[in-house]
Every structure is written in C-alpha cells, then in structure tokens.
Amino acid sequence: MPPSVASPLVDHHCHGVARADLGPEDFASFLTESDAPAAPGTTFFDTQLGFAVRRWCPPLLDLPAHCPPARYLARRRELGAREVNGRLLRAAGITDYLVDTGLPGDLTTPQELAAAGAATAHEIVRLEALAERVADGVDPPDAAEGFLHGLATAVQDAARTAVGFKSVVAYRYGLDFDPAPPDPAEVRAAAARWLDRRTPGGRLADPVLLRHLLWSAARTALPLQLHTGFGDPDLRLDRCDPLLLTDFVRAVRPTGCSLVLLHGYPYHRGAGYLAHAFPHVYTDVGLSLTHTGARAEAVLGEMLELAPFGKIMFSSDAYGLPELYVVGAQLFRRALARLLTGWVDDGSWSPDDARRIAGLIGAGNARRVYRLGAGGADG
Amino acid sequence: MPPSVASPLVDHHCHGVARADLGPEDFASFLTESDAPAAPGTTFFDTQLGFAVRRWCPPLLDLPAHCPPARYLARRRELGAREVNGRLLRAAGITDYLVDTGLPGDLTTPQELAAAGAATAHEIVRLEALAERVADGVDPPDAAEGFLHGLATAVQDAARTAVGFKSVVAYRYGLDFDPAPPDPAEVRAAAARWLDRRTPGGRLADPVLLRHLLWSAARTALPLQLHTGFGDPDLRLDRCDPLLLTDFVRAVRPTGCSLVLLHGYPYHRGAGYLAHAFPHVYTDVGLSLTHTGARAEAVLGEMLELAPFGKIMFSSDAYGLPELYVVGAQLFRRALARLLTGWVDDGSWSPDDARRIAGLIGAGNARRVYRLGAGGADG
Amino acid sequence: MPPSVASPLVDHHCHGVARADLGPEDFASFLTESDAPAAPGTTFFDTQLGFAVRRWCPPLLDLPAHCPPARYLARRRELGAREVNGRLLRAAGITDYLVDTGLPGDLTTPQELAAAGAATAHEIVRLEALAERVADGVDPPDAAEGFLHGLATAVQDAARTAVGFKSVVAYRYGLDFDPAPPDPAEVRAAAARWLDRRTPGGRLADPVLLRHLLWSAARTALPLQLHTGFGDPDLRLDRCDPLLLTDFVRAVRPTGCSLVLLHGYPYHRGAGYLAHAFPHVYTDVGLSLTHTGARAEAVLGEMLELAPFGKIMFSSDAYGLPELYVVGAQLFRRALARLLTGWVDDGSWSPDDARRIAGLIGAGNARRVYRLGAGGADG
C-alpha cells in the first residue's frame, strides 16, 4: 500500500490536446465548463481545478508547485506546446487513451496523442458529430434517404475500427428522452425536416434523430458512453440525472450493448445504483474528480458505494490541455489510494482485495469492457 | 466511548432468513438488489456488501476475516443452515426484531427467527401482501365488496397483533401518487377492475388500491413504514425520492399515524428534512448502510444532519442471509461510534449526550414509536 | 494556519434578533424550521443545531459548554435579552450585517443590531414583504394601477438605500416558475385579481406577481438573493432545487443583476454548478451549516467543489436568537479552517492561497458583490 499509486491507467474517455501554444485566456477557458469570461474580480484559476493544476504541473516544467499562474504560463510558452504536451502526457502514467474524436479545435489526433504520451490510442466515435459529418456530405435530391443510408454505413464502418461510441444527447436534448426506438417512418420524417432547415455544420438536436443514433450504436453491441451530469451551460443539469435513463437502460438491454455512464456529478450515486441494478451498466469517475480537486477523495468515495467494483472505470475527460491528463490521473490515484489505505488500515478490506480492485478500476475493467487486449501487468 | 459498541439494538425493519442451505448462486443473489446474474467478468462479492460480509462473518464460523468466498461457503455448508443462522443471529447483538412477513421464499417465521437469535420478535404487516392474500380468498360473486370488507377486517386484525404496517408503493407505483385518500366509489371500481383481471397470486399495482391501503393503515394510527430510495430494479429510483411524499405527509398528519421512511438512499438527506419539518415523520438507516459497507460512516453522517436525533432508527433490512444481520449491526455500530467519538473528541458533543443519542437511535426511538415496552437498560 | 479563525466576517444574509426575553418554548421554536411542537418524547435541543448552541454559547454567558438547556435558559433570563444579545453578537466576530428586514416579530432593526454587535448594518429588502406593504397602503379605486405604480416606486426607493433584494418565491410558489418576465397586461390582471381577494396583511403567492417582483428587482441591477433548498414546511423541498432556476438564470443575465443562491441544502452541489457555469451566479453557506452543526465541515466541503472560490459567501441566516450568529460564525470558521488546513497539510493548496480564499469567502466576495466598501484588512 498505497495500492494504486504506481499502476498504469487506461483512460477510457479523453480528447485531443491543443497543438498550438495557448494564450492566458485560451488556457483559462479550458479550466472551466463555463462559456463566458470569469465574473468581475474572479479568475478561473481560483477553483479546485486551478489549484490542482498549480499543484501537480509546475514541477513537471521545472517550477515549484503552486507558483503563480503567470509564471507557469510564461514557462509553458518558453518550452513550447510540443515539449509541454510530451512532458505532461508521459508524466500522467497512462498506457491507453480512448479518444473521443468528435470535438472541434486544432487538437492532436489519437495517433499524435499516443506518440506524445508514449501510449496506445483507441477511438471512441461521437455519434452526433458522425451524423453531422454525414449530413455535410449528402447530396440534396432524396437527401433524407441518402443521409440515413450514409449514417448506417458510417456507424457500421466506425464499429469496425472504434472501440466504442459516445452520445451527448444530454447536451442536445436531455436524458428524459423517449426510451423506445423511433420507428423508421418517424426517423425518415425527422431526417427530412432536419436536413431541410440545416446549413452546413449545423448541429443535430432533433430528439428523434438523437434516439435513432443511440439505437443504431446500441445494435452494434459496442460499448456506448453517455454523458450524464455536470458539463457546460448548454445543458440543464437537472435533465442530465442518469436515473432519467432508467427506462432506456431497460429497453436497450436485449441488444447486448454495455452502457457507460460518464461523470454523473452530482448524481453519481444514482449512476452507481444503475450499475448495481443492471448488468450492462458501467460508471466512470471522469470530470467529477478533475473539477473537484482536493475533494476528489470525497467524491470518489461516493462512487464506491453502490456500484460493483467491476463496473467502475477511470477517465480524465482531458480536453485541450495536457495538464488535465496529469491532474485527472494524479487526483484519481491519490483519492483511490487514500480511500483504500483507510479501509485496509481499519480492517474493512484486505490488502489483496484493495490491490486487485485498484487494478480493476484503473485499467482492468476498461480492458475487459472495451476488449482492449491484455495490456501490462494490471490488465 | 465508543458509546454504542456494546448496546443492544432494536432492528425495526427486517425479514426472515433462509431455512435451507444455500448454493453459491443463491447466496450471491442475496448480496445484491439486482435481479440478474452478475455482468461477465464480475461477481457480487466484489462490492462493499460482499467485502463487509467477508470481514465480519468468517470469524463467527471459525475462519479468518476476508477468507475467499468459496472457503466461506464451504464452511457454511459444513455447519448447516441451522447452526449458521444461530451463530450469526446471536452474534449481531439484536434484542428485538420487527419482522416484515410479506416476502416470499422458504424463510424463518418471526418466532423461528426469535428462537434462533435469542431475541424477541414483533410483526410488521406488509400491506400489499395482505391485500393479495385477501384477494386470493374472496369468492367470485360480488367479489369487490367481499374483498374490501375482507381487507378492512384483515387490517383491523393485523392492527391488534402487529406493531406496524409497511407499504411498498414505491415499487408498485412510485412515491408520486395522489396524496388524497381515494373516495369509496373509486376504491370499489378499482377493486372490481383488479379482481376481474387477476389470477391467483397476482400482485397489486393499482394506484387507487395502493392508496386505499396506505389510508387504511394510517387510520389505525399504528406506525406506517414506507420504502423510499434504493431497492431492486423494479422501481424507478427517481420516483422513490421521499420528498415526493411531502403532500401525503401533510394529508395524513391528522390520522395520528407515524410515518417511518425506510432507507432513502441516495435521497436520505431529503428524508432527514421531512423528519425535521414534520413531527410525525421518522427515518431509518437500513439498506443504506448494509450496501455501502466501508462507506457506512459517510452515509450515516449525512443522516445525522437535519433529522432530529429522536427521529432516527436502526434497521438491518436483512433478508435471507443471517450474514446481513451481522453486517447491518456491525456497520451501524462502528459508523455511529466513529462519528460520535469524533464529535466528542473535538468538543462538538458532550460524552453524555453521545451515549444518550446512541441509545436512542439504536433502540430507544423504536421502543417509543412502536410501543415495544421498556426492553433492557437502553430502552 | 488555521487561516480563517480570526478573520472578521461579513454576514450577507441575516435577520433581527428578539428584543424581549424568550420563554423556553419560544427559544426552542427558533432552533427548528418546523412549525409544530416537537414530536412526543423528543426535543428540538436534540439536534445538531441544539448541540452546537450548547457547545458555543454557554461559555459566553459564564456557563460550561454543554450545560443542560434549562440551566442555559435560566441564565439567559437572569442576564436579560439586552445583555445576552450584546454579548453573543459581539462574540460572533462579524463586522457587517446584511439584514433581511422582511420577517415578522418583535425584532431588532438593522441599526439596533449594529449597535448591539458593534458592527455595520446594511439592508436587504424582501420583495414579497415590500409588495404586501404597498398593497396594504393602496386606495381601493383603481387599485391595481395604484399598487403597481406604488410598487415600482418602492423598488426604486429601496434600490437607493438597500444593498440588495431577496425573494422567497421558493416558499410562495416554488422555483419551477415560468422563467420569462410576465407582460404588463398579465401583471395588471394578476394584481387586480390578488387585490380584489386580499384582506389587509394577506400574503402574496400569485406566480405572475412573484415573477414581476423578481424582474423588477433584477432590472435595478442590485444583487438578488433567492431562497433555495431547505427551509420551513411551507415549501416543497423538491421544488426548491436551485437547478430549477436554470432558465431564469439564463433569461435574467442581460439585466446585469447578480443572483445569490441562498442555502441550497441538500441541492447545494447544484447551486455550485450554477455558480461555476454562469458568471452572474453566487452561492451561500447559510442555513446549511447552522442546522448541520458537527457536520458543517462535510457540508461546506461539498460547496467547495464546483463553485469558484470567488463566488461563495458566508452567512448565518440568524433569526430571532443571537445564538444563531455565534453558531453560524463558529461553525463556518471551524469548518473552513479544518478543510483548508487539511488541504495545505497534504500539499493540495498553498498556505497563501488558503489564507486568501478564506478572506474572500468570509468577507471579500460579499464586499465586492454588494459594493460595501473596503472594510478591514480582509475586505
């Protein structure tokens, strides 16, 4: 003990990092889910995440922990994005990235990320972005049929190369969608309506098409990640409670698809219940640890209540900044080590169980669910 | 200090244990609220409850704590159900069982349980099971009238021998039911409709009849237990938030009936609010501690926020396995002792208050609310 | 360290204290949000708040901590309300009171409170009470027009002298109100309807008028406090989840008004999300610490997860009893000091950051948001 500090991690939900050097404002914007500048008199560095970045990252760039943001950012520019990305990614101790490639911006590809981090990359296909790309390419005459056919092909193609799908129906509509699969005529009508009004790049928010995407992905039987809980102000957080998915969870069970509920905060105990009650439901720590910083142990503790230990997975949900990989991995390792050490010390858990469960949550569960192959010693 | 470790407990909500020896799969099925086998590559032993059973129970069967499940199950079979039930029940340190007799299975009766545990048994009558038994006995002609008359008699009879009622309207409908009592014509129509379609053993899920049961029980002025929060996948957890009962709580207050909100997790803070705001509402720790194991202290702490200390009661919600009595009692005692010791040590509570409140939550409140008589020193 | 123990506090949400001596039952009634006597066999002193009062207040009246309630109340009568109020208020270490003057009872005015506590008082105007006072003064003929004109003038006048407004729409309707401003014709019709049925002193619960008050206040661009979460049994707690305000938060943003979400418990993590996602949203610790006593550290920790540290403010929500100022301030200081000390000790935060953030939450944020001027060293 501590059981998990040195174990390699599989990060089952992450994104590319910025290729270019970032100015102070661009950097700060990646520290928050807000889409607005910080309130007058405040800064996004004065948050648990800001403090966690200042705690873990400056030493990796030869600076003292907690040095002022301006000094850290100056050093970052001095070293250049390429060097910083490499140093931070390699320090995170992650062996496998499962990269959601559906976010915009000048970001590293999975291959670039893998090279920078000396790790292996796998792809997670974001359904809404896939549909929007297909829509951008359809030819106007007979557009709805062409779109739906192209979408079906794109989902099949993705299923051959990707290790899973992801849906952001939480952002685009809410999790209180109709749990049943839409019928084909409904889907055709919704596609025609959407394409008719759409300009290139237009985003998909039609609830019938969003459900069609979910069911299309589920029928491939690949794992399907669903954003739940905390995220940017596009969503209504109370409509992202994972328990709103209960009837969809029941309906989708016969497809053989595993559902992976991302984040969940502050409804992560409800996500844990679903993982407890339904064999095909899994949960994630993700964003909930990154943004709660020094409170990560308390939040992770709540996730380790009802969810069976074979159903919980690590992710950083890092996006844009390699710092978020470092912070995600360190917060997770420390929080888990402190929880498990405490339980071993008071006799609640055996040391062997603690080591074994740390390996499952950090890597083994993701290897099994996404069929990644054996990996290292903890796989 | 620790104030509660040695106190005898009143378990105000529990069930019978299996009379027969259990195979590994039957045993594991009692460790979860799921109704399906564990997901591929996982086991129900890898849960907080599974680890708690392995921590507390093997020593009572002459094995080391945390021994592997297979070894524990082998020893269990070697000793036989009767010996195991007796050893574990007596080790739990419970003086009174308030047994919900409405669950199916080859379970011990309250009398058998009391004999095995060297304790006193009292009965809690589950309303839906009572109604189904009455329905099984009514004669077709004029069935609805006969059923309702038989039900009224059965409720009156139960009120003479039982110490309280229990409702699982949370499972059968949800807690978002109409808070007003249904009028007699509505009840008659609903009874006729239900009986007409029903085959023997058919379960009661009609919302009008479920409400009729609640009001019939409330009018006896005996305490009425309501399942809230976490339970098996029959329920929609978001429809089991105890706060959905607020208007029913207000409506039922003039009957003089006490409402005891069971479990509540993850909405137990809302249950605590109701116990704070309304004189006739009480809360329970139950299932929430059993299933959260090493996290029991954190969960119990949340219950000890708003709820007045005279309104909180211990239960194990044990069902099927005598292990669940041991685990429920040990987790409760340890969690409470650690919380109270911490508060005494930092000066927040006085030692006398801590001892007194531990006695109330563990036994005294239940003795008062269910009118059990004085009991032992802590009654 | 501990960083915040000695800092002066700005209490941004509080009320007057009773001018007269209080009998035991009146005293106890201020310890609970319940509107009924304690349940048989229980007392409101057996709560986290009751224990916190007994821990912090007796020494200020020359008695040992945790002395029995009867002895404390006897000593209180012996000293008299004036002496007790002065001793306790001055011991709380609060430099500025932002007093909601809209509560009934024989309470100190802000000026009297300031004199007794050797502090500065500012006024927060409770919108519903303001509207009811205006309604009490209108002349019957043409009442709706006169009322609305008088209300507009009263809001303008209040904006010149008060530092903010407060709404209790949570109690009067719920937070699930229509987020859009009502149109003038709707408002006139609602005013006519309400005034027509109203007797003097009648309270305002019409949802159109409640929304009109919110928008009238927002347009002054003064900070607007909104009760959310836990409060007395008038409210339905599940309709006081601050996340129900999300669309109103979005709609009101262009006015330039800051929204301060009070209390929030048990939905305070959702309030933290809103403060994270929206630049004009702030959160408060208030009632949630006072009523959770020895659990204040756990609850405050949850508030220090998503909410940026420049967005959180201290309040006691004290009402009636000067004891609630003492308890509110002490629980806050201890909880914050313990959390920050822990984070500094484990390296998560730097000592300088901890001191700075303690100053912001305890006083600086409120000084900035309510434009109170510099105050002392921590302003």
Question: How large is the average pLDDT for residues C250-274?
Answer: 97
Show which residues on chain A lie within 8 Å of chain B, measured between beta carbons: 241, 243-244, 246-247, 250, 269-270, 273, 276-280, 301-302, 304-306, 308-311, 343, 346-350, 352-353, 357, 360, 368
CB contact under 8 A, A41 and C349: no
pLDDT of residue B141: 55
pLDDT of residue C379: 34
Give bridge partners of residue C263 from the DSSP assignment. C228
pLDDT of B3 higher than 50: no
- How far does B101 lie from chain C, in Å, by closest CA? 28
- Contacts C308 to A, Cβ<8 Å: 32, 38-39, 42, 44, 46-47
Alpha carbon A77 to its chain's center: 27
Enter the ipTM: 0.96
pLDDT of residue A234: 84
> Which of C38, C44, C294 is the closest to B348 by Cβ?
C294
What fold, for B3-369? TIM Barrel (3.20.20)
pLDDT of B378 higher than 50: no
Model confidence over B59-71: pLDDT tens digits? 999 999 999 999 9
Say if CB B272 and CB B300 are below 8 A apart. no
Element (H, E) at B96: strand B94-100
What is the residue-averaged pLDDT of chain B? 95
> Which of C47, C65, C230 is the closest to B309 by Cβ?
C47
Confidence of residue C377 (pLDDT cuts 50, 70, 90): very low
- Contacts C267 to B, Cβ<8 Å: none
H-helix segments, chain A: 24-29, 48-56, 69-79, 81-91, 110-117, 127-137, 143-161, 169-172, 184-197, 207-218, 246-252, 268-277, 286-290, 296-303, 323-345, 351-359, 365-369
Element (H, E) at A13: strand A9-14
pLDDT of residue C90: 97
CB contact under 8 A, B270 and C238: yes
> Which of A43, A238, A294 is the closest to C243 by Cβ?
A238
Query: What phi and psi, each to the nearest 5 degrees, are found at residue C218?
Result: -60, -35
Residue of C29, C33, C35, C42 to mutate, interface with B, max B Cβ within 10 Å = C42
Residues present in chain C in total: 379
Say if CB B34 and CB B47 are below 8 A apart. no
- Contacts A232 to C, Cβ<8 Å: 277
CB contact under 8 A, C347 and A55: yes
Model confidence over B137-175: pLDDT tens digits? 987 756 999 999 999 999 999 999 999 999 999 999 999
- Contacts A299 to C, Cβ<8 Å: 305
pLDDT of residue B110: 97
> Which of B34, B40, B299 is the closest to A276 by Cβ?
B34
CB contact under 8 A, B311 and C44: no
Alpha carbon C351 to its chain's center: 30
C neighbours by CB contacts (3+ pairs under 8 Å): A, B
- How far does A54 lie from chain C, in Å, by closest CA? 9
Residue of A29, A55, A244, A263 to mutate, interface with C, max C Cβ within 10 Å = A55
| CA neighbor of B118 nearest in space, from B81, B79, B83, B91 | B91
For B295, name the nearest residue in chain A, comparing CA atoms only.
A305
CB contact under 8 A, C350 and A66: yes
Stated pTM of the model: 0.97
pLDDT of residue B287: 87
From first to last of the 379 residues of chain A, give the pLDDT tens digit. Answer: 444 456 899 999 999 999 999 999 999 999 999 999 999 999 999 999 999 999 999 999 999 999 999 999 999 999 999 999 999 999 999 999 999 999 888 999 999 999 999 999 999 999 999 999 999 998 775 699 999 999 999 999 999 999 999 999 999 999 999 999 999 999 999 999 999 999 888 999 999 999 999 999 999 999 999 999 998 888 899 999 999 999 999 999 999 999 999 999 999 999 999 999 999 999 998 889 999 999 999 999 999 999 999 999 999 999 999 999 999 999 999 999 999 999 999 999 999 999 999 999 999 999 999 999 876 443 3
> For tokens 């930092």, what's the residue?
B346
pLDDT of residue C141: 55
Show which residues on chain C lie within 8 Å of chain B, measured between beta carbons: 32-34, 36-44, 46-48, 51-52, 54-55, 65-66, 230, 232-233, 236-238, 265-266, 291-295, 298-299
pLDDT of residue B286: 86
pLDDT of B1 higher than 60: no
Q: Which two tokens stand for residue B184?
A: 């007699």
Tell me how crowded residue A111 is: count the other CB atoms within 10 A of its CB: 11
Percent of chain B at pLDDT > 70 equals 97
For B240, name the nearest residue in chain A, comparing CA atoms only.
A243
For B266, name the nearest residue in chain C, comparing CA atoms only.
C266
Reported as half-sphere exposure (CB side, CA atoms, 13 A), residue B38 has a value of 23
pLDDT of C374 higher than 80: no
Say if CB C342 and CB C304 are below 8 A apart. no
CB contact under 8 A, A301 and B298: yes
| Alpha carbon separation from A230 to A33, A268, A289, C225 (Å, rounded) | 9, 10, 11, 24
Model confidence over C48-85: pLDDT tens digits? 999 999 999 999 999 999 999 999 999 999 999 999 99
Between residues C121 and B2, the one the model is more confident about: C121
CB contact under 8 A, A232 and C306: no
d(CA B24, CA B266): 29
CB contact under 8 A, A294 and C343: yes
Question: How large is the average pLDDT for residues C361-374?
Answer: 95
CB contact under 8 A, A273 and B295: no
- Contacts C280 to A, Cβ<8 Å: 39
CB contact under 8 A, B306 and C291: yes
- Contacts C247 to A, Cβ<8 Å: 236
Question: How large is the average pLDDT for residues C306-312?
Answer: 98
Give the SS3 label for residue B153.
helix
- Contacts C311 to A, Cβ<8 Å: 39, 42
| CA neighbor of B201 nearest in space, from B280, B308, B267, B104 | B104
Long-range contacts of B75-83 (CB under 8 A, 24+ apart): B76/B21, B76/B22, B76/B27, B77/B21, B80/B21, B81/B18, B81/B19, B81/B20, B81/B21, B81/B22, B82/B116
pLDDT of residue C139: 79
Helix A143-161 to helix A207-218 angle, to the nearest 10 degrees? 40
Residue C136 CB-density burial (10 A; 0-12 exposed, 13-18 middle, 19+ buried):
exposed
- How far does B279 lie from chain C, in Å, by closest CA? 5
d(CA A306, CA C48): 27
Model confidence over C90-110: pLDDT tens digits? 999 999 999 999 988 899 999
* Cβ neighbours of residue A120 closer than 8 Å, sequence gap 6 or more: A95, A96, A97, A114
